[in-house]
Chains A and B, each alone.
Chain A
Amino acid sequence: MSGSSLYLDGVSVVFDGFRALNNLSLIIEPGELRAIIGPNGAGKTTMMDIVTGKTRPTTGVVRFGEHDLTRMDEAAIANLGIGRKFQKPTVFDALTVFENLELALKAPRDPWSCLRWVLGAQSRRRIEGVMEEIGLAERARDRAAILSHGQRQWLEIGMLLMQEPQLLLVDEPVAGMTDQETEHTAALLRRIAGQRSVVVVEHDLEFVRALGEKVTVLCEGTVLSEGSIDHVQNDPRVIEVYLGR
């Protein structure tokens, strides 16, 4: 998997006169792990919406490799290899952990194929492998509805892994997690990166520090600063809008 890079150039989004993104430009290289931080309303979630096709940019270029993402819908973008984890964990409550992962498994997605789908031994092994990785092997037959908050987060990350994405967008993965769970998650994300690009949006600076990679600071819909965590923490503009005041 050679990987493609994510490329945003001059992206603006206007809702009812409110500029959620303002001339945002960003490049994520294959295999890169990038943390994105920024105060509330900085446009982090909107940025993810743009990349995954939920929102269309008012102006600007959004490309993934040679694909123009502004012309594709969510499903097509997902099938291109871009996975997304929501801020609030969303898994399919009525299905078991195993079934959740099975749905996410890379396979033909059209209704007819789904109807005729038979779970092969190889696929089963892959699901079991991911269950091990996210620590839910014991709970394969349990419904997602009865998992704890952290377990749901992991299950969702596991579902992303099943998709075998080239780019993973992760929105606040550790919100509401215990310290131990947070650590576990950071390790998980580090392990994932390398094979693929990962973009993590986070408030928790400790967590970002734990990731130890490049950080982008967004503010009012545009890039304020970019660099290592130490670099951005010492950037006076960042201090003013985000850390200081």
Chain B
Amino acid sequence: MTVRTPFSRRALLAGAAGALAVPAIRPAFAQGSGPIKVGVLHSLSGTMAISETALRDTVLMMVEDQNRKGGILGRKLEAVVVDPASNWPLFAEKARELLQVHKVDVTFGCWTSVSRKSVLPVFEELNGLLFYPVQYEGEEQSKNVFYTGAAPNQQAIPAVEYLMSEDGGGAKRIVLLGTDYVYPRTTNRILRAFLNKKGIADADIMEEYTPFGHSDWQGIVSRVKQFADQGKKTAIVSTINGDANVPFYRELGNQGIKAEDIPCVAFSVGEEELAGIDTKPLVGHLAAWNYFMSVESPVNTEFKKMWGSYIKNDKRVTNDPMEATYTGFKMWAQAVAQAKTTAVDAVRTAMYGQKVDAPSGYTEQMWENHHLSKPVMIGEIQADGQFSIVYKTPQAIKAENWSPYIPENASRAKAG
């Protein structure tokens, strides 16, 4: 295990080892020959493999596709895949390895917030570039990360507005169910502030958290039923994560909670999660995303075709984080082409204002707050495991990564 490789300039500058360094005279795009390296930092084993392997496949598909088109700047792309194994410190180690040993030009990776938080200092120290494709709690903005998933205002708030609208059933009582980690906690804090502002009292809000991978939902679902029996239209807002969703939805179906009575809108349940469930009892429950596989747009048709022929399994679906990966990749490729280099600082500048026609059917733009403008869509679960889109915003919405509903952000200058 002695990978002795020549030192890159940026790592050298970053490290204090630079004190002894030879003057750094090599231009920024010195590694301008050879393939462009694309790091893939998604868990292939452990608890998160279930969600993240599809993103690894998406990046590999995009790399293959780009190479078929002749690469970028006349250089081929080469993917470097590592397995951080759902182990957060290992994420940091692998990030360092990608940047220092493999010297990747860009990295696509992470799913959970904690994995992103774990690698963030590494990317900042070594001035790397990370594309993060999953919806998250916001309250962050790093110059080394481009966030291509939704911020809370691009998902949670429109979804709750919909639930309270006439079309959504006019909910007056809200159950906030979540897995006990930072994304649900933050999202629910924002939602509570929002609901209070809309005139829903704290007594009409039930908030409950469960551990990761929670599998016995009997008690909670029956408590939700009790909460709903108070004579006001009740709806569930679920930020339940990953594995826990299948047993949750099974319990929901089995306890006979119909979407017409108590609709449940989820922020972490997409086509991929539904693939493990018989959705017939769940028809009508909702999800809020920025993309559904059922979107009808030429780009989406193309995207689905590309995925189908890459993965060679007609049962595999596309979902929102995959779309965010696709969009992020396209944007990065455009930015590199525009900057005519893969150097991080130049690419970063080129990223701002970059536009891509996304599979969502909208033109999404990268803003200087490192977040995309995205449309918000509400879908109802169908018997075939797909979503029927019952609502979408007329245009893409700009991200508010610093939520105005968190009082501590009030003092923050309304940064663009």
Q: Do chains A and B touch in the complex (CB under 8 A)?
A: no
Q: Which residues in B have some Cβ–Cβ distance to A below 8 Å?
A: none
Q: Which residues in A have some Cβ–Cβ distance to B below 8 Å?
A: none
